[in-house]
């Protein structure tokens, strides 16, 4: 499903753990990697040209071990400043099908902090986005950070509301099934929804069982879980209890206004999951 991934690198502390994680994308089936760096344009063209040359040399240096690991790697340095719009524009031009970003950039204090670029990517991306969770080292004051999980496919949790907005996330889980050790499939029903539709629990169980059968037909192992409560709280507790190494979730909400941006459950998971999240939008059209 994912053949070409894009990683936007900056000079933040998150750079090293992201680069350390990237070789694992070979296990996802990624073959081609595009590394992009964005530089701000100034008022001195000669200085800008030097920045571009230095940045290109730096990216090539970063690309060398990734090529040695087995990726086809291309590098791109773009003027215009660091922004989600620039990253998405570069991704469209490069024809990538997966974006990779860290959960934080310069801020190392708040464990629930989502870096501003990552937050904008979460809101705007039309492409699947793998958000690697980055935490400060235990010492905290050193300014060093590390990835919480670097074996993302060891135990996957697919969170789905079984709506059409979750269908792309479900297909991503099915596509990764043969590469993941196990995929737990969960839907969380509120008490209000159950009271309104008494058969909803049985209907959800049947739909999840069918999803697990597709995962197993694709070479994976899965388990269906129908739980009751507030979705965000239940999903986070389940991910912690099962030591989930990756959460897959659809981007959009259940109604038109939510789907224009991002569903509340998806956004809150990206902000506070404490582990990698694969956010999967519906394809355009």
Read off the pLDDT of residues 125-177 as tens digits, 9 standing for 90 and up.
999 999 988 766 555 444 454 555 678 999 999 999 998 889 999 999 999 99
- Contact call for residues 249 and 159 (beta carbons, < 8 A): yes
pLDDT at 106: 46
- Contact call for residues 141 and 167 (beta carbons, < 8 A): no
- Contact call for residues 29 and 130 (beta carbons, < 8 A): no
Task: Chunk the chain into consecutive blocks of 10 residues (it has 285) and report each block's average pLDDT, rounded to whole numbers.
Answer: 90 77 95 88 60 85 94 88 84 94 58 66 90 69 54 94 91 96 94 92 96 96 94 91 94 48 66 88 75
pLDDT at 109: 43
Cα separation values, 168 from 1, 19, 221, 248, Å: 11, 27, 19, 10
Report d(CA 148, CA 249) in Å as an integer: 19
**What region, left, alpha or beta, does residue 80 occupy, with left being phi > 0 and alpha being psi -120 to 50 degrees?**
left
**Rg from Cα positions in the chain:** 19
Q: What is the DSSP string of 170-209?
A: HHHHHHHTTTSS-EEEEEEE-HHHHHH-TTHHHHHHHHHH
pTM: 0.88
């Amino acid at each position: 499903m994912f053949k070409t991934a894009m990683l936007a690198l900056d000079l933040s502390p998150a750079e090293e753990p992201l680069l350390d994680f990237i070789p694992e994308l070979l296990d996802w089936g990624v073959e081609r990697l595009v590394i992009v760096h964005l530089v701000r344009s100034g008022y001195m063209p000669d200085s800008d040209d030097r920045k571009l040359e230095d940045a290109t040399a730096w990216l090539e240096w970063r690309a060398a071990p990734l090529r040695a690991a087995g990726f086809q790697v291309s590098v791109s340095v773009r003027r215009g400043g660091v922004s989600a719009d620039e990253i998405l524009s570069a991704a469209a031009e490069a024809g990538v099908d997966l974006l990779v970003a860290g959960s934080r950039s310069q801020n190392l204090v708040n464990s629930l902090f989502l870096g501003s670029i990552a937050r904008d990517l979460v809101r705007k991306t039309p492409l699947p986005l793998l958000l690697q969770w980055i935490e400060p080292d235990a010492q905290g004051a050193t300014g060093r950070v590390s990835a919480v999980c670097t074996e993302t496919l060891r135990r996957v949790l697919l969170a789905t509301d079984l709506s059409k907005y979750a269908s792309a996330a479900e297909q991503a889980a099915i596509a990764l099934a043969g590469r993941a050790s196990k995929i737990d499939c969960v839907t969380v029903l509120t008490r209000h929804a159950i009271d309104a539709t008494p058969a909803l629990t049985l209907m959800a169980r049947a739909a999840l069982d069918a999803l697990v059968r597709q995962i197993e037909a694709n070479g994976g192992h899965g388990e269906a879980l129908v739980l009751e409560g507030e979705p965000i709280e239940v999903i986070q507790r389940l991910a912690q209890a099962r030591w989930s190494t990756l959460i897959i979730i659809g981007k959009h909400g259940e109604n038109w206004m939510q789907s224009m941006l991002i569903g509340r459950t998806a956004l809150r998971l990206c902000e506070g999951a404490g582990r990698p999240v694969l956010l999967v939008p519906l394809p355009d059209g």
